[in-house]
Amino acid sequence: MSDLANTDYLECLLKSWSIKSTESLSWLNQLRAHAIDCVNTQKLPTRRDEEWRFTDISPLTHLPYQPSQSECNLQLHDIEHLTLKEAKNRLVFVDGHYSSNLSTIIDPTALVIGNLPEFVAAHASILESHLGQHVQFDNNVFAALNTAFLRDGALIIVPKNITIAEPIHLLFIATQNEVTSYPRCLVIGETGSNVTLIEDYVALQQTTYITNSVTEISLAANAHAKHIRIQRESTQAFHLANCAVSLAHASNYQSTSISLGSQISRYNLHVRLTDEAAECVIDGLTLISDRQLADTHTCIDHVKPNGTSRQQHKCIVDDAAHAVFNGKIIVRPHAQQTNSSQSSRNLLLSKTAQVDTKPQLEIFADDVKCAHGATVGQLDQEEIFYLESRGLSEKAARNLLTYAFGAEIISRIPVTSLRQQLEQAVLSQTQSN
Question: What residue ranges bind another protein (CB under 8 A)?
Answer: 380-383, 385-394, 396, 400-401, 403-411
Residue 254 beta carbon to another protein: minimum distance, rounded to whole angstroms: 18
Residue 372 beta carbon to another protein: minimum distance, rounded to whole angstroms: 19
Task: Quote the CA–CA distance of 11 and 287 in Å, as a whole number.
Answer: 34
Dihedrals phi, psi of 392, to nearest 5 degrees: -80, 140
Residue 78 or 408: which CB sits closer to another protein? 408
Task: Tell me if 233 sits within 8 A of 205, measured CB to CB.
Answer: no
What residues have CB less than 8 Å from 53, skipping those under 6 apart? 47
Residue 23 or 423: which CB sits closer to another protein? 423
Q: Which 8-state DSSP code applies to residue 152? A: -
Amino acid at position 292, single letter? Q
Residue 372 or 419: which CB sits closer to another protein? 419
Task: Quote the CA–CA distance of 60 and 264 in Å, as a whole number.
Answer: 10
Residue 364 or 386: which CB sits closer to another protein? 386
Question: Strand 154-158 to strand 279-288: parallel, antiparallel, or no bridges (unpaired)?
Answer: unpaired
Task: Quote the CA–CA distance of 247 and 227 in Å, as a whole number.
Answer: 13
Residue 404 beta carbon to another protein: minimum distance, rounded to whole angstroms: 4
Task: Tell me if 147 sits within 8 A of 68, measured CB to CB.
Answer: no
Task: Quote the CA–CA distance of 168 and 227 in Å, as a whole number.
Answer: 10
Residue 312 or 340: which CB sits closer to another protein? 312
Amino acid at position 104, single letter? T
Residue 233 or 318: which CB sits closer to another protein? 318
Residue 409 beta carbon to another protein: minimum distance, rounded to whole angstroms: 8
Residue 427 beta carbon to another protein: minimum distance, rounded to whole angstroms: 12
Residue 226 beta carbon to another protein: minimum distance, rounded to whole angstroms: 19
Residue 165 or 404: which CB sits closer to another protein? 404
Contacts of 35-39 spanning 24+ positions with Cβ under 8 A: 35/132, 35/137, 35/144, 35/145, 35/146, 35/147, 35/148, 35/150, 36/144, 36/148, 38/137, 38/138, 38/141, 38/144, 39/10, 39/14, 39/141, 39/144, 39/145, 39/148
Residue 176 or 344: which CB sits closer to another protein? 344
Residue 359 beta carbon to another protein: minimum distance, rounded to whole angstroms: 21
What residues have CB less than 8 Å from 250, skipping those under 6 apart? 221, 222, 275, 276, 277, 278, 279
Residue 253 beta carbon to another protein: minimum distance, rounded to whole angstroms: 23
